[in-house]
Amino acid sequence: MTEAQPFIFVVDDDSAVREAVGNLLESVGFRSQSFASADEFLRACRPDAPSCLLLDIRLPGVNGLDFQEVLEKSGVRIPIVFITAHGDVPMTTRAMKAGAVDVLTKPFQKDELLTAIRHALDLDNAARAEEAEVSKVRARYESLTNREREVMDLVVTGLMSRQIAMQLGITEITVKVHRSRVMAKMEAASLLELVRMSERLKPKPRR
Amino acid sequence: MYKVSNHSIAIVSIETTNWTIALRTDKFLQLGQGVCTSRALFRLDGQAWANTPDDLRYRQALGSRAMKLDATRVAWKLAAHESRGFSGSDRNDSSAITKRAGLTKLNATNLKDPPVKAAHSLLRRYGTAIVLVGLAFALTFILRYFFPYPVLFLFFAAVMVSAWLGGTGAGLFAVLLSTLVTDYYFVPPFNSFVIDARSISYFGAFVVCALVASWVSASKRKTEEALREARDQLEIRVAERTAALEKSNADLRRTMRDHEEGQQTLRQSQAELAHLARALTMGELTSSIAHEMNQPLTAVVSHGHACFEWLSADPPDIARARQTVTSIIRDGTRAGQVLKRIRALFSKQTHPGDMVEMNEVILELMVFLRDEALRHQIELSADLAPTLAPAKGDRIQLQQVVLNLMMNALDAIQMGTGEAKRIVVRTSLNAAEGIRISVEDTGIGLSAESAARIFDPFFTTKPDGIGMGLSISRSIVESHRGRLWADPRAGGGSIFQFTLPLHHEAEK
């Protein structure tokens, strides 16, 4: 996977602020795109690159905090840095609890903004790497036959081959064959590695 | 001492604090007014008339010395009645005062001479009769040498003139003298009071004629005097009425001035109250105002950092830096304008004669309230007539009315439970009522009880309201000759609207 150039999205209903933040980001070498509302952002197609979202809390239509939930629910995972003219404590708490990277109070300084953005991009990079890994494992998992998947699911719970054979009603020899095929297809060097892969395949709990 | 021609002076009224006198001369009827103090009496000496426009002409006509005499007399009498002391109740009753002071309607006859002068006058009247009869005698005596019969008609002339000048007494005195002189010198036998038998009828006719002449002359004189007096009385009554009218006029003017002053004070305190209410409302809007200030500031700071980066690049990107500075200037200017608008809203000054574009006023307020509405997820929109004539009035006050209505709408929505949260501000124009501005909300609406009292001062439906907003708004709208009222909105909520007359109508 190639390291794409990071991309910053800005959502603020004030055109002057959008323009200024865009200019600042451009001056330090970030690519950016601005939107006047959350809807506009949703409708736009986003490049496949490490990215983060600079989101104004107070927006016409859906406000920033609600939009954060909308994104979370629809499975769009993008680190969010909130910007607000008057961040009060409950608002900030809610944003941070929901997983925001930072809440910046307008007018913010360049360093604050860049620190938050870099942090967000690091998070996104890690997440993207994780996601890439998971999708690789998932592809391998998809290549297994139904019986092999059954065997794998039982293996990772720590059952012995004999116990698996009894549960599935097949011979121990057959289980062992399936098991070695699973190890090969999943490219797992050890049982421990297979267990980790299986963990990754499970749906993530909400943060 | 002073020669005073025919004057009459009358006390028209003496009240607790003021006196009025009327002075009539051959040419003028003059009213004098003053204050009942000893100093005012002193001021009578030529000064009391100073505030009447005819004063100068009067003085020129009579000479200030003549006026001084009259004034002194009045002053003397007033002083006399003051020194006798009056009870409070008397003071308001001018007839009681004049009676006790011996000052009943003064006119030419009873003002003419003080007692000492009366004796002089008597002497003069009878002296005149003697002189006239003497003159007639001398002429007749001389004429005797030219005519065979004595010419006695000159005595008739003397009698008539004496009766005319001196009245009945002087006339009869002249008749007596003439009779004696004629009997002695001109009725045979001459130089004796004896009358011979032939001359009795002649002499008798003379005496009768003299008596008749005296009587005719004196009564004519009396009639003239009576007429004159009647005229004086009439003029004095006119003067009294005039004085009363002038007094009620002055009272009316004073009342009007008091009223005007009251209005002025009221307007001033209303303006101060409105300013206070404005400041309070602005206080509620601080976070919105802060937001409005913050946006351009954020842009300026970000652009500033960007500009620094463009200049620090190697090679520096001058074009981008220049472009950025342009943006900084634009955003900084915007921040300044926001501040200016806020200051205007806080301003205490009023400019009642401005031409106010109501659409502009509304859009300006929308900027402030947009953030407030966003915070409560209320949709705020405007539906403005594209060509709205300007209203004539005070921009800040009218803005305050719209602000009040919009703030109320925001509060009403927050107090309500409706799904729709919407405020629409509309403007429209029609020939009949002029400009109409309406603020429509989907809020809690008005109960019948609230609807009846909502414009009363200190009536509020808000938990933390002071109940002045609508009351102030209504008085502002009414002072612009408009009307402010509230209606329920179909489907929940309420509509507050007000009208403003078109500019050319406002001038009428």
Q: Give me the number of domains chain A comprises.
A: 2
Residue B236 lies in a domain: no
Residue A206 lies in a domain: no
The model carries a pTM of: 0.54
Per mean pLDDT, which range of B58-67, B216-225, B281-290, B349-358 is the poorest?
B58-67
Mean pLDDT on B472-477:
87
Residue B324, min C-alpha distance to chain A (Å) = 8
Measured between beta carbons, which residues in chain A are less than 8 angstroms from residue B334?
A: 16
CB A198 within 8 A of CB A152: yes
Same domain, A71 and A155: no
Same domain, B324 and B414: no
A85 with B301: Cβ contact below 8 A? no
Q: Is the pLDDT of residue B418 over 80?
A: no
Residue A77 lies in a domain: yes
Q: Is the pLDDT of residue A8 over 90?
A: yes
Residue B312, min C-alpha distance to chain A (Å) = 10
DSSP code per residue over A131-173: HHHHHHHHHHHHTS-HHHHHHHHHHTTT--HHHHHHHHTS-HH
Same domain, A90 and A169: no
**Listed residues B112, B130, B152: the one ending a domain:** B112
Same domain, A13 and A93: yes
Tokens 């307008």 correspond to what residue?
A106
Same domain, A81 and A42: yes
B309 with A107: Cβ contact below 8 A? no
pLDDT at B44: 38
Same domain, A117 and A86: yes
Residue A1 lies in a domain: no
Same domain, A117 and A28: yes
Nearest CA in chain A to B297: A107
Question: Hey, what are B62's tokens?
Answer: 């009579």
Greatest alpha-carbon span in chain A: 72
Residue A17 lies in a domain: yes
Same domain, B375 and B468: yes
Our CA angle for B164, B166, B170, nearest 5°, is 105
Greatest alpha-carbon span in chain B: 164
A102 phi/psi in degrees, rounded to 5 = -160, 160
pLDDT at A23: 93
pLDDT at B432: 82
Same domain, B370 and B459: yes
**Listed residues A81, A110, A133: the one ending a domain:** A133
**Other Cβ atoms closer than 10 A to A96:** 13
Same domain, B45 and B68: yes
Same domain, B482 and B500: yes
Residue B288, min C-alpha distance to chain A (Å) = 9
* Residue A195 vs residues A161, A186, A190, A200, B393: alpha-carbon distances, Å: 16, 11, 9, 9, 80
Our CA angle for B467, B473, B476, nearest 5°, is 140
Q: What is the 3-state secondary structure (H, E, C) of B272-292?
A: HHHHHHHHHHHHHCHHHHHHH
**Long-range contacts of the stretch B42-45 (C-beta < 8 A, 24+):** B42/B75, B44/B71, B44/B72, B44/B74, B44/B75, B44/B78, B45/B71, B45/B72, B45/B75
Share of chain A above pLDDT 70, in %: 95
B260 phi/psi in degrees, rounded to 5 = -60, -45
How far apart (Å, rounded) are the C-alpha atoms in residues B440 and B483? 17
Greater confidence (B413 vs B187) lies with B413
CB B398 within 8 A of CB B480: yes
Greater confidence (A201 vs A103) lies with A103
Mean pLDDT on A78-83:
91
Residue A104 lies in a domain: yes
Burial pattern A1-40, b for ≥16 Cβ within 10 A else e, equals: eeeeebbbbbbbbbebbbbbbbbbbbbeebebbbbbbbee
pLDDT at B323: 93
Angle of helix B64-84 relative to helix B55-62, nearest 10 degrees, comes to 110
pLDDT at B18: 53
Residue B15 lies in a domain: yes
Mean pLDDT on B269-298:
80
Mean pLDDT on A117-130:
90
pLDDT at A65: 86
Could you tell me how far CA B156 lies from the centroid of its own chain?
Answer: 62
Greater confidence (B46 vs B294) lies with B294
Same domain, A85 and A149: no
What are the beta bridge partners of residue B450?
none
Which ipTM score applies to this complex? Answer: 0.77
Residue A138 lies in a domain: no
The whole-chain average pLDDT of chain B stands at 75
pLDDT at B198: 78
Q: Which tens digits make up the pLDDT trace of B334-357?
A: 899 888 888 877 777 777 778 888
Q: Give me the number of domains chain B comprises.
A: 4
pLDDT at B3: 30
DSSP H stretches of helix in B186-285: 200-284
Burial pattern B18-47, b for ≥16 Cβ within 10 A else e, equals: ebbbbbbbeeebbbbbbebeeebbebbebe
Same domain, A129 and A187: no
* Domain enclosing residue A153, as ranges: 143-201
Residue B74 lies in a domain: yes
Q: Is B149 helix (H, G, I), strand (E, B) or coil?
A: coil
pLDDT at B111: 38
Residue B258 lies in a domain: no
Same domain, A17 and A104: yes
Residue A118, min C-alpha distance to chain B (Å) = 17
What's the burial of B248, exposed, middle or buried (CB within 10 Å: 0-12/13-18/19+)? Answer: exposed
Same domain, A129 and A185: no
Same domain, B319 and B364: no
Residue B66 lies in a domain: yes
Residue B218 lies in a domain: yes
Q: Which tens digits make up the pLDDT trace of B109-147?
A: 333 334 445 567 788 888 888 898 898 888 888 888 887
The whole-chain average pLDDT of chain A stands at 86
Residue B261 lies in a domain: no
Residue B240 lies in a domain: no
pLDDT at A18: 93
**Listed residues A104, A133, A162: the one ending a domain:** A133
Same domain, A44 and A122: yes
CB B11 within 8 A of CB B21: yes
pLDDT at B80: 46
**Listed residues B346, B369, B392: the one ending a domain:** B346
Pick among B287, B288, B295, B421 to test the A interface (most A CBs inside 10 A):
B295
Q: Is A99 helix (H, G, I), strand (E, B) or coil?
A: coil
pLDDT at B425: 93
How far apart (Å, rounded) are the C-alpha atoms in residues B434 and B481? 11
CATH code of residue A41? 3.40.50.2300
Same domain, B318 and B413: no
Per mean pLDDT, which range of A71-80, B192-201, B202-211, B289-298 is the poorest?
B192-201
- Residue A23 has its nearest CB partner, among B295, B302, B375, at B302
**Other Cβ atoms closer than 10 A to B469:** 26
**Listed residues A78, A107, A133: the one ending a domain:** A133
Pick among A10, A13, A15, A23 to test the B interface (most B CBs inside 10 A):
A23
Strands B391-393 and B354-356 come out as: antiparallel
Same domain, B358 and B443: yes
pLDDT at A86: 72
Mean pLDDT on B288-294:
81
Same domain, B207 and B164: yes
Residue A92 lies in a domain: yes
* Residue B39 vs residues B12, B33, B52, B75, B79: alpha-carbon distances, Å: 20, 13, 19, 10, 11
Highest mean pLDDT among A73-77, B166-170, B294-298, B372-376: B294-298
Same domain, B61 and B121: no
Per mean pLDDT, which range of A71-75, B3-7, B436-440 is the poorest?
B3-7
Same domain, B469 and B424: yes
Residue A180 lies in a domain: yes
* Domain enclosing residue B415, as ranges: 350-506
Same domain, B69 and B18: yes
| B190 band by pLDDT with thresholds 50, 70 and 90 | confident
Same domain, A117 and A149: no
**Other Cβ atoms closer than 10 A to B335:** 19
CA distance between the termini of chain A: 27
- Residue A17 has its nearest CB partner, among B295, B313, B377, at B295
Q: Which tens digits make up the pLDDT trace of B194-230?
A: 888 878 888 888 888 888 988 998 888 889 888 988 8
